[in-house]
Every structure is written in structure tokens, then in C-alpha cells.
């Protein structure tokens, strides 16, 4: 089993964090170091260390992450102008917390690339 992360504690609210969304599969909250006007993290409640560790059993959870991203983008008012969804994988991909998470960023022009 993978090691617990700071995200596991946020999911259980052991680290009090205002949640934007939570259900039985995923949790969403604002990034503490936003890289754009709107920067939200969407994470599975199940600890999956990297994208390489996703299995067929996780397909519903991964799909839910995208559905929640769409819902939150609309709530943030960034769905019409556009936004970016980013998932980093492993060291060279820029992953810092080994609990997969999707960055939902927008609210301003992002340019060609965004370093998160």
C-alpha cells in the first residue's frame, strides 16, 4: 500500500481545508499556491500514487474527476473562456505529491504552457 499523503489528511479534514466538492470518490479544494486566478485541485479519495498506478478499477473515479472539473469550472465562471486541466506524473513530469491530482486552472489567459 502507498504511503499516506497530505491530501489523505485533507480528504478526512484532519487538516482543515475549505472543500469546494466532496463525494464518495473525489475531493476538490483550492491550491495553496495558485498559478492562476482560479486554481483548484481535484483528487481521488483513494490514494493512487501516480498515473502509472491507475487500474481499470479506478475508471469511475478518474471519470468523476473530469465531471467535477466541468462542474467547478462552471461554478467558477471560467467554462466559457476556457481553462486547463493538468495531471503531472513522476519526477520528470513535475509531480510533487504522490497522490494523483488534477489541477483545474483558469480565469485568465494561460498562454501556451503553464508550469505547476
Annotated active-site positions, please?
101
- Three cell numbers written together for 97: 505529491
> How far apart, in whole angstroms, are the C-alpha atoms of residue 104 and residue 82?
10
> How far apart, in whole angstroms, are the C-alpha atoms of residue 88 and residue 59?
18
Return the SS3 of 17. Answer: coil
Cβ–Cβ < 8 Å for 16, 65: no
Cβ–Cβ < 8 Å for 103, 51: no
Amino acid at each position: 500500500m502507498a504511503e499516506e499523503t497530505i491530501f489523505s489528511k485533507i480528504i478526512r479534514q484532519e487538516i482543515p481545508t475549505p472543500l469546494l466538492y466532496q463525494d464518495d470518490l473525489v475531493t476538490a479544494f483550492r491550491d495553496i499556491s495558485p498559478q492562476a486566478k482560479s486554481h483548484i485541485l481535484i483528487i481521488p479519495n483513494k490514494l493512487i500514487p501516480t498515473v502509472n498506478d491507475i487500474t481499470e478499477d479506478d475508471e469511475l473515479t478518474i471519470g468523476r474527476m473530469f465531471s467535477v472539473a466541468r462542474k467547478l469550472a462552471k461554478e467558477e465562471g471560467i467554462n466559457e473562456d476556457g481553462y486547463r486541466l493538468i495531471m503531472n506524473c513522476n519526477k520528470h513530469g513535475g509531480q510533487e505529491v504522490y497522490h494523483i491530482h488534477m489541477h483545474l486552472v483558469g480565469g485568465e489567459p494561460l498562454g501556451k504552457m503553464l508550469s505547476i
